Homo-oligomer: A and B are copies of this chain.
Amino acid sequence: MKKTIIGVMGPGANATETDLENAYELGQLIAQEGWVLLTGGRNAGVMDAASKGAKFANGLTIGVLPTNDTSAVSDAVDIAIVTDMGNARNNINVLSSDVVIACGMGAGTASEIALALKNHKKVILLTNHPESKAFFQSLSEDSILIANTPAAAIEMVRGVLTDRH
């Protein structure tokens, strides 16, 4: 039976120290809940840190890769989905996730949040980027939740999953 998948989206090379710490903790907490972690799969930034956190807690990790270059995959990814479709794979990331957590901000992450909203998914923002909160809440007040810590984000995921049933 289909497992619950939580997507963690965030910057690669431009992730901040705080983004990386949050991503690692998110991965760990997601694994502890028994959920599967889905990321963009590369060995960089939030994708890599979240996957490492999940593996530390013995979770299962999916990486949806933009290119056909499997040397770019994070060591902490168990299941590599090779799309070779560049940033168009961002739509697959959000469609495959029961809930999306955006950890940090950048153009790629913004596209994933926007695609998630377009596809009627709930998105939890874990960022202290004030323009992001204002913008995405203006697009869809109901579907954007704001978290200040990884633990709060996980609590919100639990709420979204419960509401669906």
CB distance from A91 to the nearest CB of B (A): 4
Number of identical protomers: 4
Does A18 have its Cβ within 8 Å of any Cβ on chain B? no
Q: How far is the CA of A93 from the CA of B36 in the complex (A)?
A: 20
Q: Among residues 106 to 165 in chain A, which have CB atoms less than 8 Å away from a CB atom of chain B?
A: 106-108, 110-111, 114-115, 117-119, 129, 131-132, 134-135, 138-140
Number of interface residues of A (CB under 8 A): 49
A82's nearest neighbour on chain B, judged by CB, is B95
Does A32 have its Cβ within 8 Å of any Cβ on chain B? no
By the criterion CB–CB under 8 Å, are A139 and B110 in contact?
Answer: yes
Does A64 have its Cβ within 8 Å of any Cβ on chain B? yes
